[in-house]
Amino acid sequence: MMSLSESSFLNVREWMGQIQECRDEQLPMCVIGNKVDLREDRPEGSCVSTVDGERLARTYNALFCETSAKVGTNVVEAVLHLDKVRILKTLPSNPSTSLPRNT
């Protein structure tokens, strides 16, 4: 999770390097841009844009979400989305042949 400040955005690359050294490749990652509520109050260009956040996440094959912990915007949704992707990655590639049918 990063704030939408430029300094936090730049730190993500270092953090991701550290995470990738010890994480299981099967676990999905999500870059979360927090404090989106401050974007309205800041001068244009002083916050990392959604496009830049998405581009950074793609660099690491990660999801991207913007949240505001202060006002609760997308906090639960970000966690649920990441968990859904994690669950889908654990399913067999052809679930119709692996799951029993109810008849």
Domain segments of the chain as ranges = 2-74
The 10s digit of each residue's pLDDT in 18-35 is 888 887 777 888 999 999
Whether the per-residue pLDDT at 103 is higher than 70: the answer is: no
Whether the per-residue pLDDT at 42 is higher than 70: the answer is: yes
Helices (H), the chain: 6-22, 50-59, 75-90, 95-98
In the chain, % of residues over pLDDT 70: 87
Q: Which CATH class is domain 2-74?
A: alpha beta
Confidence band for 51, pLDDT divided at 50, 70 and 90: very high
Per-residue exposure over 40-79, b if at least 16 CB sit within 10 Å of its own CB, e if not: eeeeeeebbeeeebbebbeebebbbbbbbeeeebbbeebe
Whether the per-residue pLDDT at 100 is higher than 60: the answer is: no
Confidence band for 96, pLDDT divided at 50, 70 and 90: low
Sole residue written with tokens 């970000």:
78
Structure tokens at 39: 């974007």
